[in-house]
Structures are given as C-alpha cells and as structure tokens.
Amino acid sequence: MRKISRSLTAKLILGVTLVATTIYVVTAVTLFLQSRRMIRQEANEHAHSVLNTALQQVGNYMRVVETATNANAWVAEEHFHPDSLVGLTKRIVYLNRNSHGCTIAAKPDAFPDKGRFFSVYTIYQGDSLVTQREPEYDYTVEDWYKAPVASGKGCWSRLYSKDTKGVIDDNNRTLAIYSKPVFQAGNVVGVVSTGLSFQSLAKAIHEVKYPYPNASFVILGSDGQYLLPLDSAYQGVNINNDEVCSLPIPDTDWSLALICPTDDILMNYHRMVLYVVIFDILAIVLIVLLCRWGVHKALWPIWNLVGMSKQIAKGRYDEIIPQTKRDDALGKMQNSFAIMQQSIRRNIDSIHATTDEITRHNKEVAYATQMAQEAQERKMLFIQNVMHQIRTPLNIIQGFAQVLRDELRGGGLAHEEFANIATMMKHNSQHLSRMVLMLYDSSEAGLTEEFRIERKDQVSCNDVVRECIGYSKEHFPDIPIEFRTELFDNIMILTNHLYLMRTLRELLYNAAKYSDGQHIKIIVSQTATSVLFTVEDVGKGLPQGQLDMIYEFFSKHDDLSEGLGLGLPLAKRHVISLGGNLRYDRNYKEGCRFVITMPK
C-alpha cells in the first residue's frame, strides 16, 4: 500500500511539474517577446514626442524669417526704387540674426538705367553686414524667384547651396529661402527673399534633449531622400533595424526625421536577458518544490474540507469547495459539501442582490427628490432674478416719467436735464428689450427659430464690427473701443447678419460692463479657412473655478451679480448655428479674451 502511494505521488509530482513548467515557459517567452514589442513601441512614441518638440523649434525659427520678410515686403511696395531696396535688405538681416542673408530682386527691366536684371543682397560676413548689388544674371529661372511669382504669395523654396549651385553638401552654406512677391497696382514687380541657413536649424535641434545617445536628426526631401544631416555624428541609417520617425515641416515639401538606433533602444533589454535566464532557472526549481508540496497536500483533502466547514460556520459563504471525480467515500463527502456550499452561496447572493436593489432604489428616490427640490429652488431663484432685473429699469423709467409729468406742469425743466432723462429712459428701455430678447432666444420658440436661420447674407467683416461698435457706443458713450483689422473692407463672409451682430454686440457689452472701461479692443484677422473676431479687455476677468460653466444657461458668478446668465450661452449657440465657434482664451491673464471663428 505504501509502495502504491509512493508511485502515485511520484507520478502526480512528475505530471504536475511538467504541466506547470510548460505553462511557465510559454508564458515567460510570450511576455519576453511582448516586452520587446512594447519597448519598441514606447521608444517610437518617445521619439515622436521629441520629434514634435524639435519640429516646433524649427518652426519657430522659420516663422521668425517669414514674419520679418512679410512685414518688410509692404515697405518694399511703398518705396520700390533702388536706393530704398538696398537699405531694406540691410534692415531685414540686421533685425533677424537667424537669417543668413536677404535678396531683393526686381522684375526684369524694372529699372532700365540699372540694366535688365537688378538685384541687391545683404549677408553677414563674420559680425559685419555686407550690402551690394549682385552681378547681372537671369534669376527668373531660380526657384526662389519663380515660386512666389507663380503663386502670388510667400513660400519656401527647395534646399539651395550658393557655393555648389544647388548641390546639398553641408549645413553651413545650405539655405532654405523664404520668398515674398512685391506688388504694385496688382502686378508683381519684384521678390523679397530671406535665407535661413541649416546651421541655424541645427542649433534649434541641438536645444532638444535627444532620446538616445546615438540618435540623430536629418532632413528628408519630398521623395524620401536623405538630403541633409543636422548632426555631425550622423553615420547613416539601417532601414531594417533602426527606428526612423518623420514629420512634415509646415509650408515646405521637406520632412524632419529622427533616427534611433535599435541597439540603443534595446540596450537595457539585452542586459536583462541574463537576469531572466537565471530567474527562469530559479522559478523552475521553485515550481518543482511547489508541485511536490501541492501533491502531498492533495492526497489529504479531508483537512481542506474541515477548514472549509469552519469558514462556512463563521459566515464566509464565498469560500468555494471544489468538486472531485473520486468515487470513494472521501470523494462523495467532498462533492456533498461542495453542493451544500453552492446552495448556501446562491441563497446568500440572492439576499445580497435583493438588499442591493432596495438600497439602489432608495438612493434613486432620494436623488430624484433632491433633484426636484433643487429644480424648484432654481426655478424660484430664476423668477426672482428676472423680476429683479426687469423691476430695476422699469422703476427708473416710471420715476423719470413722473418727473417729466411734474416738470411739464411746472414748466421749469432745463433742456440739458430733459436730454439726460431721455437718455436714461432710452438706456433702460434698451436694457429691458435686450433681456426680453435673450429670454425669447433661450426659449423653445427661439431655439426653433434659430435652427431655421439661413446664411445668405454677404457681410463685410470690418463693416459689421463698426456697426457693433456704434451700437455699443449708444449704451456706453464714454468708453473707448479700439478697432484693429488685418482685412480689407471688401472682404466678405457668407453668414446671417442679425445673429453675427447679436454675438459681437454681446461680447462688446460684457467687455464694456465688466472691465476697467479703458482698454477694450476688437481685432479682425484671418487664417487660410476662417475669419477671427477677437474681443479682449483689461480687468479682473473670469474666476478660474467658473470657466467650465460660462456657457451653461442661467449660470452666473454669484446670485447677486447683475444679468440673467444667458449672454455667453446664447452667443455660443448663435456662433455654432452660423457654422463657427466661440472660445475663451485661458492663456490671456490681463482680463477676458473671446475669439469667434467664422468660416470663409
């Protein structure tokens, strides 16, 4: 009997050990391979993050050159003669140390006394500026001249090297050129071009923390060719192994690529292999010991049943007694205990479920009661607020009406006093009309009407702002409003004139009412696809804790503040109905700044 017991124990230990070891090895290998994939994925995400930062640095350098060139192109249009162009190139380079040089090339035969081709340039030689006229050559075939003339707008030309006539060899002489056409009477009369050396771009890249010791940045052409390395340590790329991440450089056909050697990415992974092997050996030994212990324990299940019975007696019904396939008395007893425990557990779970359902129902009833109470309180508060907001201007109008009636009987009211009373009555009547209009717009009828609006009005962006400023001046005649625009008066957008006016007037009204009343601005600008109306002021601004609620209907800073809490929510809804958007600039700290974005 003892021999049979030992044989069974050995077989069980061997079988359980083989199964456990196989599962462990398969799991370990799977995790090992999965960790390798995750490391590469994490490295790729990290590389993209660093690449985005580097691209922002490069973009900042390029935007400085673009801004300097665009700003001075207007000067060239106003003073387009040889002497002024010489001084202008020197000014552009002097004020922008990131630029390599500046060239202004006139249209052929623009200055007959200077020859067919006339171009001047300024470059840095050491710390000194050198300005001179270039020898005559046909620059009209160069990309930096052809591209802006053909497109009629500023653009970046392909990589260009002055010493090697376009062959890209090093980043000290290689230039990226931004060119801007110069117009007179609607015709191109010349081109202002500013060069940005790739040595400057390399400097911007070096400010970024590299993800790996041997990582490097390169510039890629539109066809994916490696055009220019931005690191002196660049040694080429292994396409099959190295991680290569690239992002397009805005407004160009180049891309910025980050090359991360696979050896650097998996350095710690390779070091970990030895430790994993040692750990696996120890784990397998531990598995053998645990299997031996488990088999011995499995041969004496009666003690497990005793322990389970004690737990059930203590009220722990979640303890699971496993069933067995053994046909002896011990197996039947274990299965009977298992069935009993499952029955008790089902009953207890049913009781718990019923209790939880009752508790949940009670919470729902309590919550619904609370919501009803809060809704009633909000309703009463809103009614009180509306009555207060309407009662104040009505009392003012009624009081002044009584004064006018008494004075007409006595005949002693001066013209200036009469004018002041009329102005005050008009202001309060407009205030009443504004509140009634907002209440109507916030109703279901107003919402239905807004859904049916048609955007068929050709509206001048500048004229609609002037109309709104004039309307605001009627309410606040003593408050100055500064108007700045980047658009011509003939720039139009297709929208609904009434709802755009309401939105702009509401923003100007709030700015005049809640700011210092001295620094209100409205700025009109544009992007490639939209027109931006920016209203900003100087004052205490909005509380940080209230920013998420400014577009909620009937929400106010506090219950004692003036207003119905409808202005900004309605303005937001109007703009969205017009196909645009209204946002609050959280980065502006001197007061409030709201930006309306309308599609062109």
Q: How does pLDDT run across 255-307, given as a tens digit for each residue?
A: 888 888 877 777 777 777 777 778 778 877 887 787 777 766 666 666 667 67
d(CA 156, CA 66): 9
* Residue 562 domain flag: yes
* Residue 263 domain flag: yes
> What is the number of alpha carbons within 13 Å of residue 538 lying toward its C-beta?
10
481 contacts 522 by C-beta, under 8 angstroms: yes
d(CA 123, CA 540): 48
Q: What is the pLDDT along the chain (600 residues), one digit of tens a residue?
A: 344 445 556 666 677 778 777 887 788 778 878 877 887 788 788 888 888 888 888 888 888 888 888 888 888 888 888 888 888 988 888 888 778 889 999 999 888 888 899 999 888 887 788 888 888 889 998 888 998 999 889 998 866 555 433 333 444 556 788 899 999 888 999 999 998 877 777 777 777 777 777 788 887 776 666 655 655 544 555 545 677 788 888 888 778 888 888 777 777 777 777 777 787 788 778 877 877 777 666 666 666 676 777 777 777 766 677 777 777 666 777 777 777 777 877 888 888 888 888 888 988 888 888 887 776 776 666 666 666 666 666 667 667 666 666 666 555 566 677 667 667 776 667 666 677 777 767 666 666 666 667 788 899 999 999 999 988 888 788 889 999 999 998 999 999 998 899 899 889 988 988 888 888 999 999 999 999 999 999 988 887 767 777 777 666 655 545 656 777 888 898 899 889 999 999 889 899 999 999 998
Tokens 């009412």 — which residue? 513
Which string of b and e fits 104-129 if b means at least 16 CB within 10 Å? bbbbeebbeeeeebbbbbbbeeeeee
* Residue 208 domain flag: yes
Bridge partners of residue 430, in order along the sequence: none
Tokens 């544009």 — which residue? 526
Tokens (6 digits) for 512: 């005049």
Q: Of 145, 101, 97, 95, nearest to 123 (Cα)?
A: 101
Q: What is the pLDDT of residue 1?
A: 38
Give how far Cα 338 sits from Cα of 295, 312, 478, 589, Å: 21, 11, 88, 69
Domain of residue 475, CATH code: 3.30.565.10
Domain of residue 98, CATH code: 3.30.450.20
Strands 481-485, 520-526: pairing kind: parallel
Give how far Cα 475 sits from Cα of 209, 394, 427, 480, 600, Å: 55, 17, 6, 12, 31
* Residue 137 domain flag: yes
Residues 6+ apart with CB under 8 A from 86: 120, 131, 133
The strands making up 593-599's β-sheet, listed across from edge to edge, are 481-485, 520-526, 530-536, 593-599, 581-584
d(CA 179, CA 176): 10
Q: Which of 284, 299, 314 is the last residue of a domain?
A: 299
E strands present in 253-392: 255-260
Containing domain of residue 146, as a range?
Answer: 1-299
What is the Cα gyration radius of the chain?
39
* Residue 335 domain flag: no
Q: Which of 299, 316, 340 is the last residue of a domain?
A: 299
Give how far Cα 434 sits from Cα of 49, 320, 389, 451, 522, Å: 50, 71, 11, 21, 21
Q: Determine the number of helices (DSSP H) and then strands (DSSP E) in the chain.
A: 13, 18
DSSP letters of 246-282? EEEPTTSS-EEEEEE-HHHHTHHHHHHHHHHHHHHHH
Domain count, the chain: 2
Tokens (6 digits) for 9: 């124990």
* Residue 113 domain flag: yes
Tell me how crowded residue 355 is: count the other CB atoms within 10 A of its CB: 10
Q: Which of 299, 314, 342 is the last residue of a domain?
A: 299
Cα angle: 323, vertex 325, 329; to 5 degrees: 90
* Residue 197 domain flag: yes
Q: What is the pLDDT of residue 494?
A: 92
228 contacts 249 by C-beta, under 8 angstroms: no
* Residue 271 domain flag: yes
d(CA 45, CA 51): 10
**Mind spelling out the 3-state secondary structure of 103-171?**
EEEECCCCCHHHCCCCEEEEEEECCEEEEEECCCCCHHHCHHHHHHHHHCCCEECCCEECCCCCCCCCC
Q: What is the pLDDT of residue 379?
A: 64
**At 535, which amino acid appears?**
V
The helix or strand, by DSSP H or E, that contains position 522, with its residue range, turns out to be strand 520-526
